[in-house]
């Protein structure tokens, strides 16, 4: 995501790097690069103009801070402006005082609206909110079935009245059902069209007037760049929306949509879709997105992801083991599984500042393959051997047995064990304070 934009912006700081302060002349070249970067990312022209003007003013007015390089200062100004243009803070989904909270989904066909309905339902359930989904798209063949299938997949109920019913009536009855059965939130999926047309807007308006939603979320496709922003504005002008869900942010989107939606439509992006799977939805945080755009990684998302997966008590025990070099193969497997639950190795590394660039696809693939191999070999060890890797260092016959059992060469088993021992002794040194924490790069 945003690789091209990040690279281009890097060119911008190069222009101020090595200068002793930000000045009118060196900032000019840098701003030209920034402008070009944003336009190439398909951000809206007005947004770009305002952005550059704002950065220029702040950069020239910036006081020299001792110890901070001008390029670092410039990056900070850009970062802050990116955050500001995307709306400063996350705007959470409404939560009505008296249930149910009513959420109306709108959007053109193919943007990912139906998928987003299920994603949002799943997301809310993780927050302990009970959800009913309502299928009103009677026009697209199989749209209702699609929602029902997604509902089954995530075990969230779907209300429908078949495809011969009136969408307004389905929505009305769906909300009634949610109220009667005490659901916390009801999400209404609506029909999308290939283009905005009067009958689509008319129907959406009637549904909206009838059910009086707390949220009207427009689902827009990030791949359409600044068009996503224009569309949000049009929908807002015509029916009134409370926010957008930007889908397909996992693709090679250039970033223009994320940068333009807020300024152009006045409405916040509340969530982003980052994949086809139902759990691929994230709340939108402008500051995290700005960090990603700048190629600074996204430590916060990583921390949050890790928090979801890691049991803190477990983590503490693990840390103790690591520092006292009691870390064994069983722990290693545990950690590998954890990493897997958090996503692929590449996915996790990309979230760490600087890592995304430091390791290339080939290295990642190698890393994943090595993990897989290690898992197979550890799978062929006895419980004793896993707990006490020294047993293996001293016994070629044990190593041979593991090699045969896991279908690997003797040499590979020897390598695994020797690497593991090296890692342990490094950990031990860290634990005894003989060594500072290794730099990310060195450690890797
Ligand atoms: P609708 O017509 O707006 O209801 O669109 P659908 O929900 O049927 O989605 C259209 C296509 O986009 C499907 O193939 C989805 O799997 C895909 N899709 C939806 N959201 C995302 C996303 O965030 N990332 C990716 N890569 N694909 C998505």
Neighbours of 358 (CB within 10 A): 12
Class of domain 101-285: alpha beta
Nearest protein Cα to ligand 1, atom 26: 275
Domain ranges for the chain, please list them: 3-85, 101-285, 303-443
Closest CA to 248 of 47, 8, 4, 1: 1
Index of the ligand 1 atom closest to the CA of residue 140: 2
Q: Is the dihedral of CA 85, 18, 23, 15 positive or negative?
A: negative
Q: Is 132 helix (H, G, I), strand (E, B) or coil?
A: strand
- pLDDT value of position 438: 36
CA distance 296 to 377: 36
- pLDDT value of position 442: 28
- pLDDT value of position 393: 87
- pLDDT value of position 439: 32
Is the bond into 100 cis (omega within 30 degrees of 0)?
yes
Cα of 223 to ligand 1 centre, how many Å? Answer: 12
The CATH number that domain 3-85 falls under is 1.20.120.140
Q: Is the dihedral of CA 4, 6, 7, 8 positive or negative?
A: positive
Neighbours of 110 (CB within 10 A): 12
Phi, psi of 104 (to 5 degrees): -105, 125
Index of the ligand 1 atom closest to the CA of residue 251: 26
Nearest protein Cα to ligand 1, atom 13: 112
Cα of 248 to ligand 1 centre, how many Å? Answer: 7
Cα of 406 to ligand 1 centre, how many Å? Answer: 40
Cα of 162 to ligand 1 centre, how many Å? Answer: 22
For the chain, the C-alpha Rg in angstroms (whole number) is: 26
Class of domain 303-443: mainly alpha
* CB half-sphere exposure, 166, CA atoms < 13 A: 8
ipTM for this model: 0.98
pTM of the model: 0.72
- pLDDT value of position 440: 31
Strands annotated E in 190-261:
215-221, 243-247
Please list the pLDDT of the chain residue by residue as tens digits (444 residues).
677 787 788 888 778 777 777 788 888 888 998 999 899 889 999 999 999 999 999 988 877 666 667 777 788 888 889 999 999 999 999 999 999 999 999 999 999 999 999 999 999 999 999 999 999 999 988 999 999 999 999 999 999 999 999 999 999 999 999 999 999 999 999 998 878 888 889 999 999 999 999 999 999 999 999 999 999 999 999 999 999 999 999 877 778 999 999 999 999 999 999 999 999 999 999 988 888 887 665 555 555 566 566 665 666 777 777 667 677 888 888 777 777 766 666 666 666 655 656 667 777 788 888 888 898 899 899 988 998 888 998 899 999 999 999 999 999 999 999 888 888 887 777 666 544 333 332 222
Strands annotated E in 12-71:
none
Q: Is 162 annotated for ligand binding?
A: no
CA distance 269 to 283: 9
Write the Ramachandran bin of 198: left for phi over 0, alpha for psi from -120 to 50, otherwise beta: alpha
Cα of 168 to ligand 1 centre, how many Å? Answer: 24
Q: Is 430 helix (H, G, I), strand (E, B) or coil?
A: helix
Alpha helices in 255-393 (DSSP H): 256-265, 286-293, 299-309, 312-323, 329-341, 345-350, 355-358, 361-379, 383-387, 390-393
- pLDDT value of position 26: 81
Q: Is 435 helix (H, G, I), strand (E, B) or coil?
A: coil
Q: Is 108 annotated for ligand binding?
A: yes
Q: Is 431 annotated for ligand binding?
A: no
Q: Is 190 annotated for ligand binding?
A: yes
- pLDDT value of position 299: 53
CA distance 279 to 305: 12
Q: Is 294 helix (H, G, I), strand (E, B) or coil?
A: coil
Per-residue pLDDT of 260-317, as tens digits, reads: 999 999 999 999 999 999 999 999 999 888 888 876 655 555 555 665 666 656 667 7
Index of the ligand 1 atom closest to the CA of residue 146: 8
- Do 309 and 338 contact (CB within 8 A), yes or no? yes
Bridge partners (DSSP) of residue 124 are: none
Index of the ligand 1 atom closest to the CA of residue 280: 23
Q: Is 110 annotated for ligand binding?
A: yes
- pLDDT value of position 194: 79
What's the DSSP call for residue 438? Answer: P
Cα of 43 to ligand 1 centre, how many Å? Answer: 22
Count of all residues that appear for the chain in the document: 444
Q: Is 250 annotated for ligand binding?
A: yes
CA distance 238 to 236: 5
- pLDDT value of position 298: 55
- pLDDT value of position 360: 73
Pocket-forming residues, ligand 1, beta carbon under 6 Å: 107, 109-115, 192, 247-248, 250-251, 273-276, 280
Cα of 28 to ligand 1 centre, how many Å? Answer: 41
Nearest protein Cα to ligand 1, atom 9: 112
Q: Is 249 annotated for ligand binding?
A: yes
CB crowding 179-212: b at 16 or more within 10 Å, else e:
eeeebbbbbbbbbbeeeeeeebbebbeebbeebe
Neighbours of 13 (CB within 10 A): 20
What's the DSSP call for residue 94? Answer: P
Nearest protein Cα to ligand 1, atom 19: 112
Strand ranges across the sheet with 158-159: 158-159, 131-135, 185-189, 101-107, 215-221, 243-247, 269-273, 281-283
Index of the ligand 1 atom closest to the CA of residue 117: 7
Cα of 280 to ligand 1 centre, how many Å? Answer: 11
Q: Pick from 1, 105, 111, 112 the residue to mutate for probing ligand 1's pocket: most ligand atoms within 8 Å of its CB.
A: 112
């Amino acid at each position: 995501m945003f690789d091209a934009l990040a690279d281009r912006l890097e060119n911008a700081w190069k222009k101020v790097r090595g200068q002793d302060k930000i000045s009118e002349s060196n900032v000019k070249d840098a701003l030209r690069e920034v402008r070009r970067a944003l336009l190439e990312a398909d951000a809206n022209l007005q947004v770009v103009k305002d952005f550059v003007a704002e950065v220029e003013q702040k950069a020239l007015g910036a006081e020299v801070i001792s110890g901070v390089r001008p390029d670092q200062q410039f990056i900070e100004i850009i970062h802050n402006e990116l955050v500001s243009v995307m709306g400063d803070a996350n705007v959470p989904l409404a939560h009505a005082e008296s249930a149910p909270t009513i959420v109306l989904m709108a959007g053109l066909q193919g943007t990912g609206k139906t998928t987003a309905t299920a994603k949002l339902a799943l997301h809310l359930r993780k927050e302990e909110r009970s959800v009913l989904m309502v299928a009103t798209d009677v026009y697209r063949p199989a749209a209702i079935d699609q929602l029902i299938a997604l509902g089954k997949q995530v075990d969230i109920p779907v209300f429908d009245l078949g495809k011969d019913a009136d969408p307004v009536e389905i929505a009305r009855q769906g909300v009634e059902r949610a109220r009667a059965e005490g659901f916390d939130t009801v999400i209404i999926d609506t029909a999308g069209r290939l283009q905005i047309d009067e009958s689509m807007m008319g129907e959406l308006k009637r549904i909206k007037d009838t059910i009086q939603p707390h949220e009207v979320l427009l689902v827009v496709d990030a791949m359409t760049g600044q068009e996503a922003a224009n569309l949000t504005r049009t929908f807002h002008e015509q029916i009134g929306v409370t926010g957008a869900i930007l889908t397909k942010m996992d693709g090679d989107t250039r970033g223009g949509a994320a940068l333009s939606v807020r300024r152009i439509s006045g409405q916040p992006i509340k969530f982003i879709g980052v994949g086809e799977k139902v759990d691929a939805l994230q709340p939108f945080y402008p500051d995290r997105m700005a960090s990603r755009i700048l190629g600074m990684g996204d430590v916060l998302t990583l921390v949050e992801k890790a928090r979801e997966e890691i049991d803190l008590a477990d983590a503490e025990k693990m840390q103790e083991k690591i520092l006292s070099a009691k870390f064994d193969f069983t722990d290693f497997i545990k950690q590998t599984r954890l990493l897997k639950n958090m996503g692929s190795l590449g996915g996790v590394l990309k979230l760490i500042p600087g890592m995304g660039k430091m390791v290339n696809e080939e290295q990642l693939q190698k890393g994943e393959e090595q993990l897989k191999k290690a898992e197979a070999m550890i799978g062929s060890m006895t419980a004793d051997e896993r707990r006490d890797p020294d047993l293996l260092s001293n016994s070629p016959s044990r190593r041979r047995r593991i090699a045969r059992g896991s279908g690997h060469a003797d040499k590979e088993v020897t390598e695994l064990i020797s690497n593991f021992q090296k890692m342990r002794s490094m950990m031990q040194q860290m634990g005894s304070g003989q060594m500072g924490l290794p730099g990310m790069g060195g450690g890797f």
